[in-house]
Every structure is written in structure tokens, then in C-alpha cells.
Structure 1
Amino acid sequence: MGRLGRLMALALCAASGTATATTVYKCQAGGQTIYQQAPCAKNQRQETIALPDSAPADGQVAPMLEAPARASADETAPPPTAAVPPPRLFGCIRATDGKPYTSENGQPAPYQAPFGVLGAVSQPLSEAYGRGAAVASAPELNRGNGMAAAVATRNYVWVQDQCRPLSPAEACQVLREDAEANQRQIRNAFKSERGPLDAKDAQLQAQLKGCG
């Protein structure tokens, strides 16, 4: 072993307690050279050698840096799919005959209806508009028909259906009933008739995803 090797070995082996040797003494006497951690004897020629303080204080070999931890399963997994909101439907009452229906629009547009169909007049429409008057249901069809058109126009009023929002449970029940009825129609329909029914079924199934 050369001098440098013996020097490094001495520096590592001479460590005691928690201290690390950073200075080595080169002692020469009687033609011999000794490397030691303590100062040389008085009758020996002494040289000091400074070593880099690279070893840990406890004499242990410094651990290797750990590789970065792999991403957890939560980090590598795709983001969760956004939950489908519950369907929003409205229960409406038709102004002309009081029949209930469901709609996605809670503010239906006003429309014109004959005054007689609203229950305000007890006699038949023909009598309300004038005996013998042939009045069509739409005012524009009676333009130019003389007195009958004037009576029909005066007796048409603006009405609007009344709606209220359905609870999620009510909306889901309505959608399930509609889906069952539509699927019965699909089973009984000819292939050429199934296009609109299949499209409606796809729409209903998409809405039902929000029902859990």
C-alpha cells in the first residue's frame, strides 16, 4: 500500500466517537515514517496534513439519495367524471283545459285561446260568438269573414300555463315512466319508425343518469 493509501486508511480507521479526523500527523524518527492522529513525540519530526472533512460525523457511510417516489395511484388515475346533475323538470297545468303535463321550460310563452274554452261562458262557443257563425279556432283564419271574424277576435284572450319546479324525486319518476312508455313503443314499432323513438330513448337515458 502506498503512502496515500495508508494515509486514507489511517484517517478512516482512526475516527473515534462522533469526531471525524481532519488532521493527520506525519511523524519521522529513526528512518521510519508514521502517520497518526495525535501529535508526534518531541524527538520526532512532525508534519501535519489536512484531509477533507467528507465522512459523516458518526463514521457511517452517507446513504445514497433515494429515488423519487413513484406517483401514487391517485395522481396517475384519470380525473373522476363529473357527476350528472339531477334532471330539472316542471309540472305545468294547461290554461285552456286544466290538463297537467311536464316540461323543461318553467316559463311557457303566453298564447291566445277562445274566451269560451276557459269556462267563463256556459253556453256553447257557437252561441257565444253568435248563432250560425262559423268561427275557426285561429283568428287569422277568419280574416275577411265579416261579423264572425270580429266576434272571434274580440273573444280571444291571452293565457299562460302555470308551472312549478318538480323535486328531483318527482322528476326522476316522470322520466322513468316516459322511458318505459317509449321503450314499449320501440318494441311494437316497425324498423322504419324507430328512428325518432330511439333518439328519444337516448335522451331519456342521459337524463336518468342524474337519478342515481
Structure 2
Amino acid sequence: MTSLRALIFGCLLLAGTTSAIGETVYKCTGANGAVTYQDAPCPRAHKQQSIHLVDRQPAPTPAEPPAPAPAAADVATAPRAATAPAAPLPVLYQCQRATDGKTYLSRNGDPQPYQAPFGVLGAVQTPLASVYGPGGGGGASAPELNRGKVTSGLVANNYVWVQDVCRALGPEETCEALQDEYDENEHKLKQAFKSEQAPFEKREAELQAQLRNCGG
């Protein structure tokens, strides 16, 4: 059947027909036995045979492939909305006292200046025992009463303005400081009476929330 259909198409093309191929092709056999194929009925003097052909349907357009699903790695590395911690680490400072050089922790990095006795600052090379001891000087201790006096005997009673120097702690130092404060608070909580424990319990909860951000 396939070879016959190919033969029919070949004969029509050779005949130079410009008509569209229909569903019916006519096989015409002349008196001399010559056979022709055409899409119009045969002449009366020819023997005619009708051949019904099935039109070829156009090939369906291939559907577009679905978009590939995102890889598991892409899903895992997708950025997530940043969420602020419930209790972020506080900003702590390590401060050094101007009077004796000792350090302390503070939440204020810019402490207020204060007045300190001139003799405790080390500016005068006189032993403090002799400055503050018997015969070391007298006079009033109030700064406003000693303003402008420069006698060595009043060195211990003269005051000057000083200010502690502070620096901000890094995250690791902050966590260490919070842990020390937590341990100290726990000790006070255990030593306190039942009626005195509420403030320590509140501070305990605050420190626990902050320490969760230390990753320890």
C-alpha cells in the first residue's frame, strides 16, 4: 500500500499537475493499455478506477518541556529573612579609673568627669604617706577653699578634674563578662531569702536570654 501511494504521488508530479492532492485519485487506463493517475475523472474513452487516499495529518507541535525544579542545593542556600535576636548582646565597656588605674565594667563608655585629690594622681613625686601623714599638710579639704594654693603642704587637699578612659568590649569579651555576672547573680540568688529573690530571678532570665547569643 505504501509503494502504491508513493507511485501515485510520483506519477502526479511527473504529469506536472498543480492541483492540490485530494482524497480521491483516478487511475485511467487507455485503449492501448497506458495507465495514468490524475485528480480529475478520466476521459470517457478510458477505463477509470477511483482510489481513495487518507490525507496525512500534520505532526503535532511538541510541547515545551516543563521548567526544571530547583535543585535541593539551591533551595538550601536560598537567603532567609534575617531575624533580630530576642535579646541581643549589650554594649559593654572596660573602663580604667584615673585615680588608681583599676579597671571596671560599665554600660557607659563616656563617664562623667569628677574631682580627685591631686596627691593621688602621681603628678607630685612625694610619697603619699608623707603627704597625708602627720606634718604633711593641713588646711581645708574642700576644693573651692584651696583653689589657687600651690603650697606643698596642701597637695593632698587640692582637687583636679579627671575622667576615666573606656573602650568597648568585643563579642567574646562581652560574653565572658555576662557569664561572670550570671555566676555572681546565681550566688546572690542562692544566698537571698525567699522574699528577696525576685530581682535576682529577673536578672537571671535576662542574662540567660543574652547568653544564648554567645553560642556557648
TM-score (norm. length: structure 1) = 0.52
Tell me which amino acid in the other structure corresponds to 2:22: Y
Q: Does 1:151 align with 2:146?
A: yes
* Equivalence for 2:179: 176
Q: Does 1:189 align with 2:192?
A: yes
3-state SS of paired residue (2:22): strand
Aligned 1:58-137 pairs, distance under 5 A: 79=81, 81-82=83-84, 88-119=91-122, 120=124, 122=128, 123-124=131-132, 130-131=138-139, 133=140, 135=141
* Equivalence for 1:25: 22
Q: Please identify the structure whose Cα radius of gyration is greater.
A: 2
Report the more deviating stretch, 194-203 or 182-191.
194-203
Q: Does 1:56 align with 2:60?
A: yes
Query: How many corresponding residue pairs?
Result: 166
Tell me which amino acid in the other structure corresponds to 2:83: T
Give the Cα–Cα distance (whole angstroms) in 2 for the partners of residues 91 and 127 of structure 1: 39
8 Å CA contact retained: 1:89, 1:166: yes
Q: What do residues 83-117 of structure 1 show as CA deviations (whole Å, max 9, x unaligned)?
A: 68766432211112322101233332222223234
Tell me which amino acid in the other structure corresponds to 1:56: P
Tell me by how many angstroms 1:126 deviates: 9.3
Tell me by how many angstroms 1:180 deviates: 0.7
Pick from 153, 163, 174 the counterpart of residue 160 of structure 1. 163
State the identity %. 42
Tell me by how many angstroms 1:162 deviates: 1.8
Unaligned runs of 5+ in 1: 1-13, 15-22, 30-37, 140-148
Tell me by how many angstroms 1:165 deviates: 3.4
Q: Aligned Cα RMSD in Å?
A: 4.9
8 Å CA contact retained: 2:98, 2:165: yes
Structure 2 vs 1, CA of residues 151 and 76 (structure 1 numbering), >3 Å: closer, same or farther?
closer
Unaligned runs of 5+ in 2: 6-19, 27-36, 43-47, 150-157
Pick from 204, 211, 214 the counterpart of residue 211 of structure 1. 214
Give the Cα–Cα distance (whole angstroms) in 2 for the partners of residues 157 and 166 of structure 1: 29
Tell me by how many angstroms 1:67 deviates: 10
Tell me by how many angstroms 1:182 deviates: 0.8
